[in-house]
Structure 1
Amino acid sequence: MRNFRELEIWNLSRGLVKEIYLLTKTMPEEEKFGLTSQIKRSTVSTPSNIAEGCAKKSNKDFSRFLEISLGSCYELETQLILCSDLKLISEKIIEEKIALIQTIEKKITSFINYLSTQ
Structure 2
Amino acid sequence: MDERADQIRDYRDLIVWKEAMEIAELVYSLTRAFPREEMFGMSSQMRRAAVSIPSNIAEGFGRAQRRSFVHFLRIAQGSLKELETQTLLSGRVGLLSAEQTADLMTRSERLGKRFVQFVRSLSQTENGE
What TM-score, normalized by structure 2, do the two folds share? 0.88
* Cross-structure match for 1:105: 112
Residue matched to 1:51: 58
Deviates more, 1:25-34 or 1:52-61: 52-61
Q: Which amino acid aligns with 2:56?
A: N
Q: TM-score, normalised by structure 1?
A: 0.96
**Does 2:102 correspond to 1:95?**
yes
Q: Which amino acid aligns with 1:16?
A: I
Contact 1:66 1:108 survives alignment (8 Å): yes
CA distance in 2, matches of 1:90, 1:67: 29
Native 8 Å contact 1:2 1:54 kept in 2: no
1:33-52 equivalences under 5 Å are 33-52=40-59
The superposition leaves residues 60-118 of structure 1 with CA deviations (integer Å, 9 ceiling, x where unpaired) of 11100000000000000000111011111111110111100111111011110001011
| Amino acid in the other structure paired with 1:65 | F
Take 2:104 and 2:12, find their aligned partners in 1: how far apart are those partners? 22
SS of the residue aligned with 1:80?
A: helix
Q: 1:9 aligns with which of 16, 34, 53?
A: 16
- Aligned-pair identity in percent equals 36
Take 1:74 and 1:93, find their aligned partners in 2: how far apart are those partners?
17
Q: Look up the equivalent residue of 1:111 and give its one-letter code.
A: F
8 Å CA contact 1:2–1:55 kept in 2: the answer is no
Task: Compare 33-42 and 50-59 and name the one that shifted more.
Answer: 50-59
Q: CA-atom RMSD, angstroms?
A: 1.1
Larger Rg: 2
Q: Secondary structure at the match of 2:40?
A: coil
Moved over 2 A (4+): none
1:24 partnered with 2:51: no
Equivalent pair of 1:43/1:73 in contact (CA under 8 Å): yes
